[in-house]
């Protein structure tokens, strides 16, 4: 397993996931609900920044590795899934949205793994649609974790909810996009198995 600074940042993101979730389980006499939301928002934003920064540094310093390519999306998916589960528990996200987003992540991860095994991973490379979906999620989640009015006029709950709707729609759309791109290979493989 290679070890370098970009991979260290990815491991940091993995380590921050329990903190995003854990602050909501602290006793209220330690942190108020507002402080819990603020703390989890800050932790989530730091984790999201490491997501961008580790990839940037790995490419810039030519420190990309197959382990880093494996760990980075796993950390992202764990971070999003953990935050969504907390938001469902707090009643800030509908469980159907969480299921759609997490289910899509599992489906596409499995598809990418299978495509890599048959040597066709470029068929399901990240698209701009997937990047827009991720951006919508990464803005929506901290807003919903914060769940208050920011600067006395920005309703983070309303904006976060709209962005999560957009993320859920793009989640389904991008899943069908990837499945459609992979369909010829899926059909070819299943035809060979008959």
Per-residue model confidence (pLDDT) at position 182: 80
Per-residue model confidence (pLDDT) at position 125: 64
Query: Average pLDDT over the chain, rounded to whole?
Result: 86
The crossing angle, in degrees rounded to 10, of helices 66-89 and 128-146 is: 40
Cα 176–180–182 angle (5° rounding)?
120
DSSP string, 135-190: HHHHHHHHHHHH-SEETTTEEHHHHHHHHHHHHHHHHHHHHHHHHHHHHHHHHHHH
- pLDDT tens track for 118-137: 776 666 666 787 788 888 99
Q: Cα separation of 11 and 5, whole Å?
A: 10
Question: Which tokens sit at 186?
Answer: 């899926």
Per-residue model confidence (pLDDT) at position 160: 95
Residue 194 binned pLDDT confidence (cut-offs 50, 70, 90): low
Per-residue model confidence (pLDDT) at position 142: 95
Written out in words, the top-level CATH class of the domain with range 5-193 is mainly alpha
- pLDDT tens track for 31-87: 888 888 899 999 999 999 988 888 888 888 888 887 877 888 888 889 999 999 999
Per-residue model confidence (pLDDT) at position 24: 86
Does the pLDDT of residue 26 top 70, yes or no?
yes
Residue 155: strand pairing partners:
149
Domain ranges of the chain: 5-193
Per-residue model confidence (pLDDT) at position 59: 85
Residue holding tokens 């369909």?
Answer: 183
Q: Cα separation of 79 and 90, whole Å?
A: 17
- pLDDT tens track for 146-173: 988 888 889 999 999 999 999 999 999 8
Residue 95 binned pLDDT confidence (cut-offs 50, 70, 90): very high
Q: Cα separation of 11 and 2, whole Å?
A: 12
Question: Which residues have a Cβ under 8 Å from the Cβ of 176 and sit 6 or more positions away?
Answer: none
């Amino acid at each position: 397993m290679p070890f370098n600074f970009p991979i260290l940042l990815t491991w940091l993101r993995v380590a921050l996931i329990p903190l995003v979730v854990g602050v909501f389980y602290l006793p209220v006499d330690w942190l108020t609900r507002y402080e819990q939301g603020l703390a989890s928002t800050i932790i989530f934003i730091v984790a999201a920044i490491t997501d961008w920064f580790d990839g940037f540094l790995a490419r810039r310093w030519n420190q990309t590795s197959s382990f880093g390519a494996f760990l980075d999306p796993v950390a992202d998916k764990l971070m999003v899934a953990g935050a969504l589960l907390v938001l469902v528990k707090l009643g800030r996200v509908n469980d159907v949205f969480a299921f759609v987003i997490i289910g899509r992540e599992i489906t596409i991860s499995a598809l990418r793994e299978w495509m890599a095994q048959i040597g066709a991973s470029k068929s399901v490379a990240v698209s701009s649609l997937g990047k827009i979906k991720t951006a919508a999620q990464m803005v929506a989640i901290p807003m919903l974790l914060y769940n208050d009015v920011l600067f006395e006029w920005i309703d983070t709950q309303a904006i976060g909810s709209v962005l999560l709707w957009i993320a859920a729609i793009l989640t389904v759309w991008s899943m069908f996009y990837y499945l459609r791109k992979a369909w010829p290979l899926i059909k070819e493989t299943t035809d060979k198995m008959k």
